[in-house]
Amino acid sequence: MDQAQHSAIVNFIWGIADDVLRDVCVRGKYRDVILPMTVIRRLDCLLEPTIALRACCVNLNALLKNLSPFSTFKQSACTSLVS
């Protein structure tokens, strides 16, 4: 990443901060909001491939609960992702 691209990204983020955080928090406290939100977004991007797997597990567990005549059934490792 070159300096120009880095500056463009930084200016974009701070521009959003000025638009969204104005009158919500003091300008000096923006970093207390932006840094955690940036970390959360990066984690969200990393975990995105697992979203379909978790949805599949939820649907499978609901199906098993409806079809099973028993009150309990063996749970897989996939179930622990949902819980």
Q: Is residue 57 a contact partner of residue 78, using CB atoms and an 8 Å limit?
A: yes
* Total domains in the fold of the chain: 1
Residue-range definition of the domain harbouring residue 70: 3-82
- The single-letter code of the amino acid at 25 is C
| pLDDT higher than threshold 60 for residue 14 | yes
- The single-letter code of the amino acid at 79 is T
- Model pTM score: 0.43
- Summarised one tens digit per residue, pLDDT across range 17-64 is 778 777 777 777 777 877 888 888 888 888 887 777 766 666 666 666
CA atoms within 13 A of residue 73's CA, in its CB half-sphere: 13
